[in-house]
Amino acid sequence: MTLFLLLILVALVLGIVGFAAHGLFYLFVIGAVVLLADLVYAALRLRHGGRHHRIVR
């Protein structure tokens, strides 16, 4: 879950900087690619159900 949120944050920052800064459109594209990769990762995790960890007491 932490990796998912970190990648979402990175994609948003790259997208905002790439959109706002003149001449840095490639950062916007990289942010979009990271966002798409993160969504695919999340879909795969939800599809397979993730790993269920048993708490040992």
pLDDT tens, position by position, 12-42: 888 888 888 877 888 888 888 888 888 888 8
CA distance 5 to 45: 14
Higher pLDDT, 5 or 50: 5
- pLDDT at residue number 46: 78
Work out the pLDDT band at 52, boundaries 50, 70, 90: low
DSSP 52: -
- pLDDT at residue number 38: 85
Rounded to 5 degrees, φ, ψ at 31 are -60, -40
pLDDT of 43 strictly over 60: yes
Tell me which amino acid residue 13 is: V
